[in-house]
Amino acid sequence: MLEIILIVATVLTLALLVLALVMLRNLPAHSAKVLEVQHRAMLSDLHDGLNKQGDRLIAAQTDLSERLRAAVGEELRATRDAVNALQAKQDALRSEMLTQTMAKLTEQGRADQELIQNSFRNATQHLATSIEALSKTVDGRLEQIGGKVNERLDEGFKKTNETFVSVMARLATIDEAQKKIDGLTTNVVSLQELLGDKRSRGAFGEVQLEGLVRNILSPQAYEMQYTLPNGTRADCVLKLPEPTGMVAVDSKFPLENYHRMFDAASPAEKLVAEKQFKADIKKHVDDIGSKYIIPNVTSDGAVMFIPAEAVFAEIHAHHSDVVDYAMQRRVWIVSPTTLMAVLNTARAVMKDVETRKQVHIIKDELGKLGKEFGRFDERMKKLADHIRQAHEDAKDVQITSEKISKRFISIERVELDAISEHPVALE
């Protein structure tokens, strides 16, 4: 303000000087001098007035500055007191807000934790219920399947026992028949006289063959005097299951040269009879091989039945070349004893086929059971995956809960700056 007044006074002074100079130029010299003196006196007065006015202004400005300084100081003190009061209120408000925020976060965290625990408890209960229901279903299914399997096995065991009883009964019948045959052989005065004729021997062999076959096999398993497609008639054919098929059995009784071997008077006669005996056997083998082995009709082999055990024993004991010859022609030489073994084997094979039909049913049931077990295994794997996933979710929930707890602890310790610099991510 003082500076403005001084500037205004200076401007007025300069204006007066300029006016005086202009007037001095326009007045005469004498008047100019008088005016110059007056003007100087006026300037001196003006200068003194200005100096006094400046002193007054300086004094007034000094006084004003002192009063202004005092007022500003007072205002600053009042402002400082207000700021301090405001800071105290701000601190109190911050503490209150932090307390309320922490209480809300704690309550919300407890609610979230309770919600998580309830969800996990519900999921666990639902999973336990599902597992229990699945276990009951599986147990019921297994019990049902086990009942069917036991029923099938009981039926199979029952039929097996019946078959075994039937086998034992037939063996007893065979033993009785064998005893009768032995008794008949014992009571015969002379087998040589009875079997002296070839037709008689042939008839005896056929009768013995039919008796053995009838005692061991069922009527559906054989046929006597069967005519083959090539026009030849076999004494008997065995109708065995595939791949064996139909096996022809023909009775041969080479008895004449057999007796000549043992009744020979000299080794030479015995040798001749032996050669003739071998020739007879080979001829029978050739006849059977050519007549009773038909491709795609019969089996690839046939049976030559020799009704006399002694003749059979002689062939296998002392004429192995004849046996080899017969084997090469796919003809099997049998006696009554070995034929019974063959027939028993055939019967066992047919029984086995019948049993396999039942086993096929059991196998089908076991296949169904295997499929059910496969489904059970898949469902158990899915259940294991669900349990593993639930376990992993529980771990994730636990990790999130730990992070929330750490955040609560950080908030309780008023680590807001640390939290803002390093925020904890909640996943």
Q: Which two tokens stand for residue 176?
A: 């009785």
pLDDT, one tens digit per residue, over 3-32 is 566 566 666 666 666 666 655 555 555 565
To 10 degrees, what angle do helices 336-412 and 198-216 make? Answer: 20
CA quadruple 93, 94, 99, 102: dihedral positive or negative?
A: positive
The CA R_g of the chain, rounded to the nearest whole Å, is 68
Query: 398-423: per-residue pLDDT in tens?
Result: 788 778 777 777 776 755 454 455 55
First to last CA, the chain: 69
Q: Please state, for a pLDDT cut of 70, what percent of the chain lies above it.
A: 75
DSSP class of 305:
E
pLDDT, average across residues 328-357: 83
Longest CA pairwise span in the chain (Å): 218
Beta bridge partners of 44: none
Least Cα distance to 181 among 159, 211, 148, 151 occurs for 211
pLDDT level of residue 88 (50, 70, 90 thresholds): confident
Sign of CA dihedral 274, 277, 279, 282: negative
pLDDT above 50: residue 426: no
407: CB partners within 8 A, 6+ apart: 105, 419, 424, 426
For the entire predicted model, the pTM comes to 0.40
pLDDT higher than threshold 50 for residue 189: no
Q: Give the model's pLDDT for residue 276.
A: 86
Q: Specify whether the CB–CB gap between 383 and 131 falls below 8 A.
A: yes
333 φ, ψ (degrees, to nearest 5): -90, 125
Q: Which of 26-30, 80-84, 290-294, 423-427 has the lowest mean pLDDT?
A: 423-427
Strands of 82-221, DSSP E = none
Average per-residue pLDDT for the chain: 76
pLDDT at 114 over 70: yes
Cα–Cα distance measured from residue 359 to residue 372, given in angstroms and rounded to the nearest whole number:
19
